[in-house]
């Protein structure tokens, strides 16, 4: 014990400002990586890799196994080449978030409509969602913010229509040609319908206590993971209204709460610039969407 305290004191004596900055940078990088892989399939894999490395390190340090130690020393470095393959979806998602954060905050290019422009759109979406919920007609409505959705618009049918409750009700009426897919709203108009959205690869829905959530909810989470768009979902089985953003989903919303959340996304904020907002955009954390509610 005295030797350990002496070694610890020796380390603190050698600690200078540059060393502290070095430790801080490593800590921030590890923290950001953990936030990026949170609530994904990579979390379990990363936990297993860390446990395996710790177990093998303890084994080789406590027991003299020359051949096994030689094998580990020559095998573990090669695993570094497997990391980009294993964590490819998470790495791609992190780079996309970095690109979105840099575009929106560093270069000052913002495509988000103002609250004045979006107020009638939000009221139409809320009214349509409430009526669809009462009739238990499934729906998926995507509202664009900064990121371009042109790739997804090309998968659907272009409409360029005004956003009205009647139009949304007609689109999502069961067994009509456009009801199966997502409606994309941008620039205050319905740009396209019957659009194909990417399905979520995270485990958020798998941990849900309910099992009524199907492809619409997975598509809503998927587009929220691939972009900064807002997805409003109406369940065909239960009529429940949910909203997805930044890989998080808030469920069981009423009309008033849905309108408040949508309005908050387009209301100007004092924290829309600076390094803190840049980090929040990078790790995908958004106000009002940080958890899944039951």
pLDDT at 170: 94
Work out whether strand 182-186 and strand 139-143 pair parallel, antiparallel, or are unpaired. Answer: parallel
In this structure, are 153 and 242 located in the same domain? yes
pLDDT at 57: 74
- For the segment 258-283, the average pLDDT, to the nearest whole number, is 62
Task: Tell me how far the alpha carbon of residue 236 is from its chain's centroid.
Answer: 24
In this structure, are 28 and 136 located in the same domain? no
Least confident among 62-76, 86-100, 174-188: 86-100
Q: What is the pTM of this model?
A: 0.63
Phi, psi of 287 (to 5 degrees): -65, 130
In this structure, are 99 and 125 located in the same domain? no
Mean of the per-residue pLDDT values for the chain? 77
- Cα–Cα distance for residue pair 10/78, rounded to 1 Å: 34
Q: Do 163 and 189 contact (CB within 8 A), yes or no?
A: yes
pLDDT at 191: 95
| End-to-end Cα separation, the chain, in angstroms | 50
Q: How confident is residue 278, by pLDDT bands cut at 50, 70 and 90? A: very low
In this structure, are 102 and 143 located in the same domain? no
Query: Residue 270 sits in a domain of what CATH number?
Result: 3.40.1700.10
In this structure, are 178 and 257 located in the same domain? yes
Phi, psi of 99 (to 5 degrees): -65, -40
Boundary (domain end) residue, out of 58, 75, 106: 106
Domain span including residue 69: 2-106
Residue 93 lies in a domain: yes
Q: Do 288 and 261 contact (CB within 8 A), yes or no?
A: yes
Token representation of residue 22: 């070095």
Residue 294 lies in a domain: no
In this structure, are 72 and 168 located in the same domain? no
Residue 289 lies in a domain: no
Boundary (domain end) residue, out of 66, 82, 106: 106
pLDDT at 50: 76
pLDDT at 39: 58
For 98-110, what is each residue's pLDDT tens digit?
665 544 443 334 4
pLDDT at 192: 95
284: left (phi over 0), alpha (psi -120 to 50) or beta: left
Q: How confident is residue 59, by pLDDT bands cut at 50, 70 and 90? A: confident
pLDDT at 69: 76
For 173-222, what is each residue's pLDDT tens digit?
998 989 889 999 998 899 999 999 998 866 666 555 555 468 899 999 99
Q: Do 265 and 223 contact (CB within 8 A), yes or no?
A: no
Residue 222 lies in a domain: yes
Give SS3 for 51: helix
Residue 288 lies in a domain: no
pLDDT at 226: 84
In this structure, are 134 and 241 located in the same domain? yes
Residue 94 lies in a domain: yes
pLDDT at 124: 95
Phi, psi of 243 (to 5 degrees): -135, 135
Q: How confident is residue 292, by pLDDT bands cut at 50, 70 and 90? A: very low
Token representation of residue 45: 């894999």
pLDDT at 272: 45
The structural domain count of the chain equals 2
Sign of CA dihedral 120, 122, 126, 132: positive
- For the segment 277-290, the average pLDDT, to the nearest whole number, is 42
For 34-48, what is each residue's pLDDT tens digit?
776 665 556 666 677
Measure the CA angle with vertex 72, ends 67 and 77; round to 5°. Answer: 145
- Cα–Cα distance for residue pair 85/70, rounded to 1 Å: 25
Residue 290 lies in a domain: no
Q: How confident is residue 118, by pLDDT bands cut at 50, 70 and 90? A: confident
In this structure, are 76 and 145 located in the same domain? no
In this structure, are 121 and 86 located in the same domain? no
Residue 293 lies in a domain: no
- Which residue did the predictor score with more confidence, 14 or 22? 22
Torsion of CA 199, 120, 192, 176, to 10 degrees: 90
In this structure, are 54 and 140 located in the same domain? no
Q: Is the pLDDT of residue 242 over 70?
A: yes
In this structure, are 121 and 257 located in the same domain? yes
Phi, psi of 186 (to 5 degrees): -150, 150
Token representation of residue 242: 């949910």
pLDDT at 67: 78
Boundary (domain end) residue, out of 106, 135, 154: 106
Q: Is the pLDDT of residue 167 over 90?
A: yes
Token representation of residue 262: 């949508």
pLDDT at 291: 41
Q: Is the pLDDT of residue 283 over 60?
A: no
Token representation of residue 173: 């009426």
- Which residue did the predictor score with more confidence, 227 or 269? 227
In this structure, are 133 and 54 located in the same domain? no
């Amino acid at each position: 014990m005295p030797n350990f305290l002496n070694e610890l004191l020796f380390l603190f004596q050698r600690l200078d400002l540059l060393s502290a900055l070095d430790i801080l940078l490593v800590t921030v990088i590890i923290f950001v990586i953990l936030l990026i892989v949170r609530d994904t399939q990579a979390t379990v894999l990363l936990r297993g890799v860390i446990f395996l490395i710790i177990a093998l390190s303890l084994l080789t340090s406590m027991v003299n196994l020359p051949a096994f130690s030689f094998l580990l020393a020559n095998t573990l470095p090669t695993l570094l080449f497997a990391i980009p393959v294993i964590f490819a979806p998470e790495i791609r998602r992190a780079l996309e978030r970095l690109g979105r954060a840099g575009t929106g905050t560093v270069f000052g290019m913002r495509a988000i409509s103002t609250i004045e422009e979006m107020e009638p759109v939000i009221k139409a979406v809320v009214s349509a969602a409430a009526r669809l919920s009462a009739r238990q007609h499934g729906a998926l409505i995507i509202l664009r913010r900064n990121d371009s959705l042109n790739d997804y618009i090309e998968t659907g049918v272009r409409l360029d229509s005004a956003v009205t409750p009647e139009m949304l009700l007609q689109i999502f009426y069961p067994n009509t040609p456009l009801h199966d897919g997502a409606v994309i709203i941008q620039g205050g108009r319905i740009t396209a319908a019957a659009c194909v959205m990417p399905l979520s690869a995270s485990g958020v829905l798998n941990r849900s206590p309910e099992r009524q959530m199907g492809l619409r909810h997975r598509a809503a989470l998927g587009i929220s993971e691939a972009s900064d768009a807002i997805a409003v979902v109406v369940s065909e089985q239960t009529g429940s209204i949910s909203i997805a953003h930044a890989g998080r989903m808030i469920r069981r919303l009423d009309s008033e709460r849905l309108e408040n959340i949508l309005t908050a996304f387009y209301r100007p904020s004092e924290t829309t610039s600076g390094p803190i907002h840049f980090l929040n955009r990078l790790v995908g954390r958004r106000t009002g969407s940080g958890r899944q509610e039951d």
